[in-house]
Structure 1
């Protein structure tokens, strides 16, 4: 297919410059898809669209464009502040980071990061964490929560922001995202699923005046079966907003990629909410609107110094509608989508206004900090939104702790154990727990990565605090070098605290610009050496790792004295007590790895390495296809240090008495999709220029972005709009609404895809001597007669038991959907079951490499003691 030509960055008054995209490898195509589908055609959004359309029908042109963009960076209390339409009762919307808690405020909870929540493999905790986060955002008066994150997926082990998501598998990531969305939106806050899509590294992600952002080149099947999977589930859960990424996909910037926004997201997945840009990710005006972008954040242009307060939208959007370059129905749909999400969450009913300021911790300050002259007022009211959220934060941090190794049953510790503690990670940053902006340093206990996904700590319960609270018998050496005065004793147990950090690339920490470039997958602060040195002097060593993702352990893992290894991931504010509950055996560890731990970086395919500098647009081609993380290791027959899903307990479990029951008869393709319902209708006539004029006696704030035009500008634009001049629309442009692709039909896609094909039950029994929780992981193996290349096993569901006492059992229910047994057919552009009558293996067990219970879909029978497929 011929590469698209895109409209880039030009004023619509002078006409748009057409620029040839940088070439991408053959076969990677961002096909044109127009027009932007209208929202409102699913029954579950019909009432909110009815309310929204009634309002939009009564709004002026300038009021509509005012809602589609931010008022400028640092031009309000929140990280993003939309315009308002006060005449019809719509206030500014407050948009605020981040996925693990309210960023840059006070009296909030610093929850465990997404990767930590994913390591719990606990659906109930994922949901309750989402509810607690939503309550805090609502309590601060935030309309739109900029989370959860399911992109990056974790394709690159060194990727800087993998820790914001839930793990390196699309199903684990999907459950983390959708349960968080359901929890957040249950409180009336609009959740934002991000970043669409294939945004897998930090370096070179952003467009600037010198260089385009990196192009993630992804084939259609891989896009659907891996990277889009969690977005589809998030849309199915009713998410109100989706944020596009900075990067390009197949050569076309996400912010103006019509195939992604119009074709996949709004048509195939039936997304009913609004699409926003990442901050300064928008690179064009008309092109991004036509391609399906609904809201520009924070409103400014990326290619002009921010001090000038210029925008691709706001007044330019108003001009573009008047001069006919953007159809009126595109603006109407964008505005309706924003308001529909607002009404869907009930934000028209006594929703609080912002009571904090992300720009300062002072009570009084400028209302518009980036303005040359700004009025001042009360900007922080210091509202405490923590409630009892420390409880769920502590539970998640505790139940995520993953015991990888426990030789000689060294753990749990006795209350009288003689402990020697090593490593600065055991205690708080001596400069202050919030001394580094956006946590942009690695000093003291590592509770989260850095960047916009961070939050301020209200307090930090460090491991040393946890030991103090227990009156433990310990001596602490607050250094990352082995001290000469530790005086080892045969009765001592040494605990070594080590870290690996990463974050967003506007901050560089110890030579790592977001991604782990200089550190690689090694421990920071000479952690490997510290462990080796301690292990040389002490007979019993426990290693506790706070990490953003995979690390290398080969230098010390097999040392005889390294008896136990725990991954505490990124625990947030409750790092200490949550760890103590596991170390001292109050609870058995129940976390499982949300990614694979390699023995060497060479174990990964070269294609998942970080892309360095390239002339022109950097190209990142996903040649590994479906084979990332455990799927790659299994295909390449590489034994990792620890497999995806691995996690030990202080007790043991058995999986038995499984059943499988067919629920929905299967066909090669799903039943025909439902037709779209009715959508709001509006006049398509260009509105009068007077709707764009500046109001009389309007008090303007310098650098604030407004949607109004001077009278002569508005009149001039309207004159063009009434002429016969034809705007140079992009290749493939049309303004005729489509019925939608066969794979669509509801939020998330064709609803038949999510029908349960098979119900599976399994009895989990605690066969050990201590209480504990187990996770049943369900993987699908495609039939041997299938000619379609698929990974050996793929995670499709999981469930966690309640706490089981010794000898107790619990029956867990899992399910396999039609989509779980399907592949994406790039020719049919639909989900297809390749062997309808084949015997799909449904494997259940405690880790991806510990599967010994198999159910067959053809025989409707299950058997234990089977040879694990990997």
Structure 2
């Protein structure tokens, strides 16, 4: 009656408070990861939001308001409704009796989607490649401003930290910042600050380990039902890899977290009490509300008791009147409903959405863009610098033979390839993107493959590239709808007009009959690697694009390849061609794509981006985590996706297996050279360290986890002939067994004039030095352990090395005599 899942119901009787260290074994001491792998221990009750936390004043206001509401009004806050008056992706209804105007939830991570007069920002993967905290903040703040002016209450992004990028062919990796949890978390935290400083609630997504599109949703095939894949992982991997960036956003004060579609250790995430009650709300001290991904709720009573606070897009399926009845018959305590409503209203108060000056809920989100409607221009001219800046800084130059770039007053250049021009349309469309990619299924009830429960066998093949024009963002809910698009062809045309350059182009004759003008000084070939929500990629390169590059290179001695890539793109099919002089992984730059590229190739500014993932020489180098898990006939009904590689994804795996990549994590070229020197490591003498953190819980975990306990410094000098920015990176080798050889634990980006030397700084927090103890269910330091320090330009170019040792006396367990420094 309440939508209760018989197969995956969590215990709802005898609601006991089970500590994290005891929950897996009915009170016995945890001694290994075995109780956590493949099963999700019950953790009850759902903790109430703190009254003395980060949102204390807003929580007090919310509690006072909730006290005046009826049960039905409180329940109405928890579930989405259809609102034909606006085009918001999700709506919470108004409660007129208390002056609550409702809420508008809208995508997305690269700008407000599905509307007009907004900007098309760069995708997360592009911003990640900038390694620029300030830029990440400014980008999010600009996006938040546009969302606010459109009447959006909750922006579903930009902090996307799941997927993290485990699967190389993952369809949504491009929405996040990096395959590394440290870098992802650092930029996501800045994004939370940026978007919420604009007056809009940030929604960090997708919690958690939502690492592939294949089998992410429960499906039906005739009379058979199939559960979504169960992400099975151990407790250590959860904490040290996938949970890490979520902790950063919780620490930054994110107002909401979106729970994902799949199962985690055999319990659907949106009703997984261990994850929501135990990890997110207790261990991390999360004070906001948990909202489902669209249609990701699978139960009524169970999901409420497990800590879910809001369901989208409709509350009527499992909650609404059912939830009201569940309270009245004693299945759900009304205090749980009070807390759900309080968390939602506290975030609303915290962001000032109760202000009378707020634009109005969904005021700029037209319900039908094909019909005449009131225009709300949400853009701000002051954001133009940010939009261009992020587009520039996310380009990654990975090859540049004999300084082929920047161009030096060329008399004639030629452009080739399907990706150079604007796509054929950008009109309102039921499709996912303006690149005419067919994701339409044969099932009229399931219009988009992978979205609403269609089995993979009914999905059409997904093209590796988007052949109908240049891409600036990927497809699906992470896409955007820019007011304009500045294509590479347009930008090169304007530069040719300015300089009097002969510009030639051929975007149609793309087979082996293409010929190159004899006096061309540089040939630019534009290809792409597309990806979209709903379906994973079928490869990391395609023969058509590779052949196109080689055909032009065979005829042109100065061939420059530009790849707009929504994820990893392999280049080895043409990398060693003697006429391929430069390669730019241009990624997904947003609406100023062409303008940014031309500024770079003409030397108006040096490229400064660096890779946030590893580019292999061959697809097979990624091993078992190249492709998404696809269930066998034996486990098709209850698919079991074992994350048996643990923390060894991307560069961690390449390092551990001693595989030489084509381009390592953190790699990227500029128009100058840098040298590193003078490594210094100093402890923070004011910090007294116990083996385990001892301070109370704040948003993000124990307060002392965020204390800076060491500082590392290095000098970087520009020894070349161009002004450029260097991204210095610090990696740690943590003591103990089963730890990666190196893990990113710091980065600094600064612009250097020719001949200039600057000091780069890397503060190390207690958290950065800790590993997760399954037995203690705590982050722990290694007493007497030696920490190895590596500083340099990439994960494999680390000229400076050092170490430090944490010394102490006693047993180091936080008891008398157990403190050490």
Give the TM-score of the pair, scaled to structure 1: 0.82
Query: Among residues 758, 766, 771, which one is paired with 1:823 in the alignment?
Result: 771
Query: Among residues 652, 656, 681, which one is paired with 1:635 in the alignment?
Result: 656
Using the TM superposition, give the Cα deviation of residue 521 of structure 1 relative to its aligned residue in structure 2, in angstroms: 0.7
1: distance between equivalents of 2:425 and 2:114? Answer: 18
Query: Among residues 206, 229, 245, which one is paired with 2:217 in the alignment?
Result: 206
Question: Alpha-carbon deviations, 1:722-755, whole Å to 9, x = none?
Answer: xxxxxxxxxxxxxxxxxxxxxxx11000011111
Question: Alpha-carbon deviations, 1:200-242, whole Å to 9, x = none?
Answer: 0111111245211111111100000000000000000000000
Query: Among residues 116, 138, 142, which one is paired with 2:148 in the alignment?
Result: 138
Corresponding position of 1:761: 713
Corresponding position of 1:709: none
1:237-316 to structure 2, matched below 5 A, reads 237-299=252-314, 310-316=316-322
Alignment pair present for 1:489 and 2:518: yes
Corresponding position of 1:381: 375
1:573-652 to structure 2, matched below 5 A, reads 573-614=591-632, 615-652=636-673
Q: Secondary structure of the residue that 2:368 maps to in structure 1? A: coil
Alignment pair present for 1:454 and 2:479: yes
2: distance between equivalents of 1:73 and 1:631? Answer: 47
Corresponding position of 1:464: 489
Alignment pair present for 1:844 and 2:791: yes
Q: CA separation of 1:101/1:20 partners in 2, compared to 1, >3 Å: closer, same or farther?
A: closer
Q: Secondary structure of the residue that 1:560 maps to in structure 2? A: coil
More divergent stretch after superposition (485-494 vs 789-798): 485-494
Q: Secondary structure of the residue that 2:54 maps to in structure 1? A: helix
Query: Among residues 59, 67, 75, which one is paired with 1:57 in the alignment?
Result: 67
Corresponding position of 1:723: none
More divergent stretch after superposition (422-431 vs 114-123): 422-431
Using the TM superposition, give the Cα deviation of residue 321 of structure 1 relative to its aligned residue in structure 2, in angstroms: 1.2
Kept after mapping to 2: 8 A contact 1:362/1:380: no
Question: Alpha-carbon deviations, 1:330-381, whole Å to 9, x = none?
Answer: 00000000000011111111221122335421455xxxxxxxxxxxxxx643
Kept after mapping to 2: 8 A contact 1:670/1:752: no
Corresponding position of 2:729: 777
Runs of 4 or more, structure 1, over 4 Å off, are 73-76, 432-436
2: distance between equivalents of 1:483 and 1:316? Answer: 64
Q: CA separation of 1:813/1:495 partners in 2, compared to 1, >3 Å: closer, same or farther?
A: same
Corresponding position of 1:352: 359
Query: Among residues 704, 714, 729, which one is paired with 1:752 in the alignment?
Result: 704
Query: Among residues 131, 147, 156, which one is paired with 2:167 in the alignment?
Result: 156
Using the TM superposition, give the Cα deviation of residue 247 of structure 1 relative to its aligned residue in structure 2, in angstroms: 0.4
Question: Alpha-carbon deviations, 1:599-637, whole Å to 9, x = none?
Answer: 112111314521224421222110110100000000000
2: distance between equivalents of 1:782 and 1:480? Answer: 54
Q: CA separation of 1:436/1:583 partners in 2, compared to 1, >3 Å: closer, same or farther?
A: farther
1:371-770 to structure 2, matched below 5 A, reads 380-432=374-426, 437-439=431-433, 441=437, 442=466, 443-471=468-496, 472-479=501-508, 481-482=510-511, 484=513, 486-489=515-518, 491-505=520-534, 514-517=535-538, 520-523=539-542, 526-614=544-632, 615-663=636-684, 665=687, 667=689, 669-674=691-696, 745-770=697-722
1: distance between equivalents of 2:83 and 2:663? Answer: 44
2: distance between equivalents of 1:415 and 1:635? Answer: 46
Corresponding position of 1:228: 243
Using the TM superposition, give the Cα deviation of residue 559 of structure 1 relative to its aligned residue in structure 2, in angstroms: 0.8
Q: Secondary structure of the residue that 1:424 maps to in structure 2? A: coil
Q: Secondary structure of the residue that 1:18 maps to in structure 2? A: coil
Kept after mapping to 2: 8 A contact 1:73/1:298: no
Kept after mapping to 2: 8 A contact 1:438/1:456: no
Question: Alpha-carbon deviations, 1:691-739, whole Å to 9, x = none?
Answer: xxxxxxxxxxxxxxxxxxxxxxxxxxxxxxxxxxxxxxxxxxxxxxxxx
Query: Among residues 127, 130, 137, which one is paired with 2:137 in the alignment?
Result: 127
More divergent stretch after superposition (322-331 vs 75-84): 75-84
2: distance between equivalents of 1:358 and 1:621? Answer: 44
Alignment pair present for 1:19 and 2:3: no
Q: CA separation of 1:622/1:666 partners in 2, compared to 1, >3 Å: closer, same or farther?
A: farther
Kept after mapping to 2: 8 A contact 1:79/1:97: yes
Kept after mapping to 1: 8 A contact 2:80/2:92: yes
Alignment pair present for 1:184 and 2:202: no
2: distance between equivalents of 1:73 and 1:158? Answer: 36
Alignment pair present for 1:799 and 2:748: yes
Root mean square deviation of aligned Cα: 2.1
Kept after mapping to 2: 8 A contact 1:611/1:618: no
2: distance between equivalents of 1:54 and 1:555? Answer: 64
2: distance between equivalents of 1:329 and 1:521? Answer: 50
Question: Alpha-carbon deviations, 1:770-814, whole Å to 9, x = none?
Answer: 11000011111124xx3x21000000111100x322111222221
Corresponding position of 2:449: none
Q: CA separation of 1:47/1:859 partners in 2, compared to 1, >3 Å: closer, same or farther?
A: closer
Kept after mapping to 2: 8 A contact 1:594/1:645: yes
More divergent stretch after superposition (656-665 vs 250-259): 656-665
1: distance between equivalents of 2:9 and 2:226? Answer: 12
Kept after mapping to 2: 8 A contact 1:670/1:753: no
Q: Secondary structure of the residue that 1:476 maps to in structure 2? A: strand
Using the TM superposition, give the Cα deviation of residue 265 of structure 1 relative to its aligned residue in structure 2, in angstroms: 0.2
2: distance between equivalents of 1:73 and 1:228? Answer: 35
2: distance between equivalents of 1:17 and 1:49? Answer: 32
Using the TM superposition, give the Cα deviation of residue 549 of structure 1 relative to its aligned residue in structure 2, in angstroms: 1.2
Q: CA separation of 1:564/1:46 partners in 2, compared to 1, >3 Å: closer, same or farther?
A: same
Query: Among residues 342, 350, 360, which one is paired with 1:336 in the alignment?
Result: 342
Using the TM superposition, give the Cα deviation of residue 670 of structure 1 relative to its aligned residue in structure 2, in angstroms: 3.0
2: distance between equivalents of 1:108 and 1:99? Answer: 13
Q: Secondary structure of the residue that 1:573 maps to in structure 2? A: coil
Question: Alpha-carbon deviations, 1:487-535, whole Å to 9, x = none?
Answer: 4426531111110011111xxxxxxxx2102xx11147x1100011111
Corresponding position of 1:712: none
Q: CA separation of 1:843/1:88 partners in 2, compared to 1, >3 Å: closer, same or farther?
A: same
Using the TM superposition, give the Cα deviation of residue 479 of structure 1 relative to its aligned residue in structure 2, in angstroms: 3.1
Corresponding position of 1:323: 329
Q: Which runs of 5+ in 2 are unaligned?
A: 11-32, 438-465, 808-821
Using the TM superposition, give the Cα deviation of residue 403 of structure 1 relative to its aligned residue in structure 2, in angstroms: 0.7
Q: CA separation of 1:166/1:433 partners in 2, compared to 1, >3 Å: closer, same or farther?
A: farther
1: distance between equivalents of 2:174 and 2:390? Answer: 15
